[in-house]
Amino acid sequence: MPTSTKLESLRVSDNVSYYYFDSGNVPGNKYTTLVFVHGMGFNGGVFRKLFPLAAAHRLRIVSLYRRDYKPTTSFRDADLAGIVSGTVEGEEGFLRSQAVDIATFLVMFAREQHIPPAEGTSGGIALMGWSLGSLLTHAVLAYLDALPSNILSDLGKYLHTMVSHDVSGGFLGMPKPLDYNLDLWFEPDVEKRFNLFYEWVTAFYPNTDVTSGNIDDLEFNNFSDKTHSMHDLSSEELAELTSAKTFGASDTLLLRIRLDVFKATTRRAIFNTALAEKFLPNLRVRYMSGGASPGVLVWALHELKKCLADPKPMYGPDAERARDVKFKFQTEGNHFIFWDEPEVALEHYIATINL
């Protein structure tokens, strides 16, 4: 992390403040802002290697700390009541509230920092969801109709693209494929489960062909002997970037939201024509995956790509392709390409945004 980069904070409501890292203003004031929303168990610091590269690409990079990742405001019992209730209304209400908070952050940041408005894919904001973070960026798109009018109008001036990097099929409402071994998720001890997850998610998977769309070309469970990402970190350094406690608490609750709610979120985000025509109709949606990412994540994008042609079997009789959606199946890097090869990762992010 550059010594000049420090955690900043922004209050989005009376009770909620988000903390974030910001690579800073770009000389000339003509730049695009990428706002990253991190995944499960890892906080916003995981994107720190991208910061020194941002200005050379006319980019400003902001990495948000999600709720429950200190020092961002923790969830209170009342915040989680919707998930704990086990009702569709409660689970949808939780996702909607998170969507409103994140969208509010984007608008307030844009206003306070006077970032340049969007002109096509230049200027403005590209909202970047990584792994579990993609669930919340999807929710932003799904619940645009829940935003106050002053937030929505300004969001339309800045937000031009939503990118999902290695999103899980479960968060798209898809049942897990039979090939995928779920054992790690049933480990009852949180610390052991986090260690198993850490080993699984930072590995390199020997996928044969990530572009074919053939499930037999993907490796779901067995990773290669290649040294895992982040292997060089001391236990103290790793602790600065992770939270096993949050992994086993609110993040695990998110995983328990029913598939039908995730499916409804995806349907509202990209398969609901009435919503797309009324709310940010020009917003572009992009998906990307890594060449050595877990095969189950690559598979999810191929399944979603099939749904674009005919979404009705998966997303219901009223589902229609409603937004500009494209995919990038990169052949390089694993789930942590931004850590191992930050320059390559940034090039892939730029290419995906500009598809």
Check: CB of residue 20 under 8 Å from CB of residue 65: yes
Alpha-carbon span 166 to 156, nearest angstrom: 26
Structure tokens at 117: 């408005």
Alpha-carbon span 226 to 204, nearest angstrom: 7
341-350 as b/e: b if 16+ CB within 10 A: bbeebbebbb
Check: CB of residue 71 under 8 Å from CB of residue 44: no
Alpha-carbon span 173 to 333, nearest angstrom: 26
> The domain that contains 285 carries what CATH number?
3.40.50.1820
For residues 21-38, average pLDDT: 94
* 47 Cβ neighbours under 8 A, 6+ residues apart: 21, 36, 38, 61, 63, 338
Q: Does residue 232 sit within a domain?
A: yes
pLDDT beyond 90 at 22? yes
| 31 half-sphere exposure, CB direction, 13 A CA radius | 23
Alpha-carbon span 32 to 125, nearest angstrom: 6
In which domain, by residue range, is 274 found?
8-353
In what helix (H) or strand (E) does residue 195 lie, and over which residues does it extend?
helix 190-201
Paired residues of 35 in beta bridges: 62, 127
What does pLDDT average to over the chain?
Answer: 96
Quote the pLDDT of residue 3.
39
What is the value of pTM for the model shown?
Answer: 0.96
Alpha-carbon span 322 to 274, nearest angstrom: 8
Quote the pLDDT of residue 78.
95
Quote the pLDDT of residue 110.
98
Check: CB of residue 74 under 8 Å from CB of residue 68: yes
User: Concatenated DSSP letters for 40-104?
Assistant: SSB-GGGGGGGHHHHGGGTEEEEEEPPTTSTTSPPPPHHHHHHHHHT-HHHHHHHHHHHHHHHHH
Q: Does residue 1 sit within a domain?
A: no
Structure tokens at 336: 């942590």
Digit-coded pLDDT (tens) for 116-130:
999 999 999 999 999
For residues 27-42, average pLDDT: 94
Check: CB of residue 177 under 8 Å from CB of residue 214: no
Digit-coded pLDDT (tens) for 321-353:
999 999 999 999 999 999 999 999 999 999 999
Digit-coded pLDDT (tens) for 50-96:
999 999 999 999 999 999 999 999 999 999 999 999 899 999 999 99
> In 3D, which of 346, 352, 355 has the Cα closest to residue 47?
346
Quote the pLDDT of residue 2.
44
* 92 Cβ neighbours under 8 A, 6+ residues apart: 82, 261, 264, 265
Three-point CA angle 131, 248, 169, nearest 5°: 30
Q: Does residue 186 sit within a domain?
A: yes
Q: Does residue 3 sit within a domain?
A: no
Question: pLDDT exceeding 70 applies to what percent of the chain?
Answer: 99
Is 27 or 164 the better-scoring residue by pLDDT?
A: 164
Asked if the bond preceding 71 is cis, omega within 30° of 0, the reply is: yes
> In 3D, which of 334, 339, 166, 105 has the Cα closest to residue 241?
339
Q: Does residue 203 sit within a domain?
A: yes
pLDDT band at 4 (very low <50, low <70, confident <90, very high): low
In what helix (H) or strand (E) does residue 201 lie, and over which residues does it extend?
helix 190-201
pLDDT band at 1 (very low <50, low <70, confident <90, very high): very low
Q: Does residue 154 sit within a domain?
A: yes
pLDDT beyond 90 at 144? yes
pLDDT beyond 90 at 28? no
Check: CB of residue 61 under 8 Å from CB of residue 47: yes
Digit-coded pLDDT (tens) for 217-234:
999 999 999 999 999 899
Percent helix / strand / coil, the chain, rounded to 5:
45, 15, 40
Number of domains within the chain: 1
pLDDT band at 175 (very low <50, low <70, confident <90, very high): very high
Q: How is residue 30 annotated by DSSP?
A: -
H, E, C per residue of 208-268: CCCCCCCHHHCCCCCCCCCCCCCCCCCHHHHHHHECHHHHHCHHHHHHCCCHHHHHHHHHH
